Chain A
């Protein structure tokens, strides 16, 4: 496998809930809660889950667009530091330096130097190499700016990479030529540059947003529901554009969407989230063909398939997703799980490798895939 590009350890993002006249903190929304993920160079990782499960928050925290409540982030980590440090952080029970062993202290020091969140220099470097594209191309583009200025903005701040791996600032004609070249590649034309965002259709606006994001030649691009607001025919156009750009510029994608068919079409690996937790990570084909986690199973079974002759069994989950401000104890899925037992209400399952390249967080993962554990009868229906 290729090199690790991003190693995030123990990421947490809690949003305080304020209330009363005094604005006291009444509690927290546990939007992202102890997430550990690795993303490898050149791959497309799909991030799925239902609305409110923390996908956008995780994407933003990964790019340091939102300050994490806890966690460390290594970008392009040297192997030696990364694996040892992330092991340490995963197992770290305490944050108090006084309680750490000597060896651990050393590692923590090393981690601080490598951590994108804490090390200013690394943070500056990092920001030049990552970008994000949002779902809503209407609100993500400044309505008062010409397209050319929208695309130029990040270049003026960050410059573009040169052959020798440094970056240079460009302006004037050089900048305009650079943008012209790019816009052709996006399937737009030159006179589009001198118009305003509202003059474009949704699909075209998304092309502009992508042009803006990749104008500084990022290595890592987070795509947050980039096609969810578009029609299918336009979605297909954008997906093929993204694929072309990824190959040409060797980018790594984190592709966030709630559309599982899109995930299957674009990603190499998939991360499934439920209520702020990662519940399953796997290579794409394996996830779709042999889902392990009961939540993933229910999610996959619910996708309508555009083939009236295909009969499927749909597992209908009961009730709603609980509130992330008050997540169930133990396994967060236990209130809706057909396999739940006593232990699920008390103990949180760890994310474990169940088979090669396929991890899941479920106490009964092995029993479920071997067929030893049968689900409680629940409403299912066939189409």
Chain B
């Protein structure tokens, strides 16, 4: 399977008053195309820090990614961090000037990440702005990251205006072999009822008319947007770091010129803008695809007016608006009731089937892992201690922590199971235990564990364990 995201030796620390929190010691894993990778572990194991490190949402200070590589295709997302370290080391004097370079770099990388990696959180409010309506927030994401698509649909719609009008009058519409065609197929499939279809039709036609009026302007915009997309995509595919650097420079210059945020604000003032109209229609369509009842009402709502389950659907739809390569979901159902959790997990699976995004699903619930993931990484105190295909992990757990976790969960389908406990607690990571960080709680601990950190060993194909019991020198009983 083709790897979409590769994380290597990621190391993140927090520099706080009490000392250095060694939150991630050495985290490596990869996510395949269309795969759902689960990350499981108890509170404080570093699951969220892993997610935030990848998306660079670690608050700095006190947090800092001190090492490692996160590769999205051929692009190292941590690269500017290394630049930063180099700057600071070599050119101490020029630091003020270089700081500006770093900031620009940072902004640029944020855009890239926002476009290719989306994230949803346990608390949906964390991803939403309380003072904007749901519609504003979805539309903004679309305008920032999916402009090309919106323009292409509008362009095609303006070319097919008469067909669209006929469709609205009750006739059928033929499928075009482009974005608009796909969109119409989707509308026919997911739209709920005639009223919803009419809403789509009206907006498509209105947008198409707007586009035809200022054809030249929008054609120009589309051309630029396509160029930019191509550059960005090349960034991910081009293996040569020097070319990448070139592209980054060009894009950084461009982004100063375009300033997407300002632009989207301007357009919001102009309600007749076809781009904005299409963004509205697409927002509606996205809410329909995440099974939200009364999507038009929800679009006009503010976040606090919606229930937790509804909000989580909204954040999922925003995350998907970008059509990301990777979706990171950090405990997306932990705050929800089981029946709502079932709805949300079904939704994630359906969407994953439909659009093939790779998902990193973080949870502490092994039940959720078993039902949604293809592969699992078990985290303990800043390390991935075991990784395997989901069936293999549950059938054949190797790491003493994984075994302990599995034995400590009560099961509805097995009332007579005797619950075993893991003694002690997840350690404080300012002074983590030496050697294997699990050793104070491990029933199999032996001398070597207290001094030497175990390395990752492949015990069978695709199944890796970090534990001295499997390092060959000492045999497990």
* Contact surface of A with B, Cβ cutoff 8 Å: 50-51, 201, 203, 231-237, 239-240, 258-262, 264-265, 284-285, 288, 298-310, 314, 316-321, 379, 381, 383
Inter-chain contact B342/A288, CB cutoff 8 Å: no
Most chain A CB neighbours (cut-off 10 Å) among B391, B412, B417, B425: B412
Residues of B within 8 Å of A320, CB to CB, are 307, 309-310, 340
Look across to chain B and name the residue whose beta carbon is closest to the beta carbon of A229: B43
Inter-chain contact B422/A233, CB cutoff 8 Å: yes
B187 within 8 A of A: no
Residues of A within 8 Å of B425, CB to CB, are 201, 203, 234
Indicate whether A309 sits within 8 Å of B412 (C-beta atoms), given known contacts A236-B419, A317-B343, A381-B346.
no
Partner of A304, one of B309, B371, B391: B371
Inter-chain contact B338/A299, CB cutoff 8 Å: yes
Inter-chain contact B426/A306, CB cutoff 8 Å: no
Residues of A within 8 Å of B343, CB to CB, are 316-317
B409 within 8 A of A: yes
Report 23 cross-chain contacts, Cβ distance below 8 Å, ordered by A residue.
A50-B338, A51-B337, A231-B426, A232-B366, A235-B408, A235-B410, A259-B410, A261-B409, A264-B411, A265-B411, A300-B412, A302-B338, A302-B339, A303-B338, A304-B341, A304-B342, A304-B345, A305-B413, A314-B342, A316-B339, A317-B342, A317-B343, A320-B309
Residues of B within 8 Å of A299, CB to CB, are 338-339
Known pairs A50-B338, A236-B408, A306-B394; list 14 more (Cβ under 8 Å).
Answer: A231-B42, A235-B408, A236-B410, A239-B410, A259-B410, A260-B338, A261-B410, A264-B415, A265-B419, A304-B342, A304-B367, A305-B412, A314-B346, A320-B340
Look across to chain A and name the residue whose beta carbon is closest to the beta carbon of B347: A316
B364 within 8 A of A: yes
Tell me how far the C-beta of A244 lies from the nearest C-beta in chain B, rounded to whole angstroms: 12
- 3 interchain residue pairs of minimum CB distance: A304-B367, A233-B422, A265-B410
Indicate whether A239 sits within 8 Å of B370 (C-beta atoms), given known contacts A203-B425, A232-B405, A319-B293.
no
The answer for the CA separation of A237 and B413 in the assembled complex, in Å, is: 21
Chain B residues 395-443 with CB under 8 Å of chain A are 395, 404-406, 408-413, 415, 417, 419-423, 425-426
What class of interface size applies to chain B in its complex with A? 35 or more
The answer for the CA separation of A317 and B371 in the assembled complex, in Å, is: 18
Indicate whether A285 sits within 8 Å of B415 (C-beta atoms), given known contacts A50-B339, A261-B410.
yes
Residues of A within 8 Å of B406, CB to CB, are 306
Tell me how far the C-beta of A110 lies from the nearest C-beta in chain B, rounded to whole angstroms: 41
B81 within 8 A of A: no
Inter-chain contact A264/B412, CB cutoff 8 Å: yes
Tell me how far the C-beta of A332 lies from the nearest C-beta in chain B, rounded to whole angstroms: 15
Tell me how far the C-beta of A260 lies from the nearest C-beta in chain B, rounded to whole angstroms: 6
Inter-chain contact A237/B421, CB cutoff 8 Å: yes
B268-310 vs A, CB cutoff 8 Å, 1 = contact: the mask equals 0000000000000000000000000100000000000001011
Look across to chain A and name the residue whose beta carbon is closest to the beta carbon of B307: A320
Inter-chain contact A262/B42, CB cutoff 8 Å: no
Count, A-B residue pairs, CB within 8 A: 133
The answer for the CA separation of A379 and B342 in the assembled complex, in Å, is: 11
The answer for the CA separation of A266 and B189 in the assembled complex, in Å, is: 46
Tell me how far the C-beta of A241 lies from the nearest C-beta in chain B, rounded to whole angstroms: 10
The answer for the CA separation of A300 and B342 in the assembled complex, in Å, is: 11
Partner of B342, one of A240, A307, A316: A316
Look across to chain A and name the residue whose beta carbon is closest to the beta carbon of B341: A302
Residues of A within 8 Å of B43, CB to CB, are 231
The answer for the CA separation of A239 and B391 in the assembled complex, in Å, is: 28
Inter-chain contact B405/A233, CB cutoff 8 Å: yes
The answer for the CA separation of A383 and B338 in the assembled complex, in Å, is: 15
Look across to chain A and name the residue whose beta carbon is closest to the beta carbon of B337: A50
Inter-chain contact B339/A307, CB cutoff 8 Å: no
Inter-chain contact A305/B421, CB cutoff 8 Å: no
Tell me how far the C-beta of A290 lies from the nearest C-beta in chain B, rounded to whole angstroms: 14
Most chain A CB neighbours (cut-off 10 Å) among B343, B345, B390, B419: B419
The answer for the CA separation of A234 and B43 in the assembled complex, in Å, is: 11
Tell me how far the C-beta of B368 lies from the nearest C-beta in chain A, rounded to whole angstroms: 5
Chain B residues 352-389 with CB under 8 Å of chain A are 364-371
Residues of A within 8 Å of B366, CB to CB, are 232, 306
Indicate whether A233 sits within 8 Å of B338 (C-beta atoms), given known contacts A260-B412, A285-B415, A304-B365.
no
Look across to chain A and name the residue whose beta carbon is closest to the beta carbon of B333: A304
Residues of A within 8 Å of B371, CB to CB, are 304-305, 308, 383
Indicate whether A233 sits within 8 Å of B421 (C-beta atoms), given known contacts A264-B410, A320-B340.
yes
Inter-chain contact A298/B411, CB cutoff 8 Å: no
Indicate whether A304 sits within 8 Å of B368 (C-beta atoms), given known contacts A233-B405, A261-B409, A316-B342.
yes
Inter-chain contact A231/B421, CB cutoff 8 Å: no
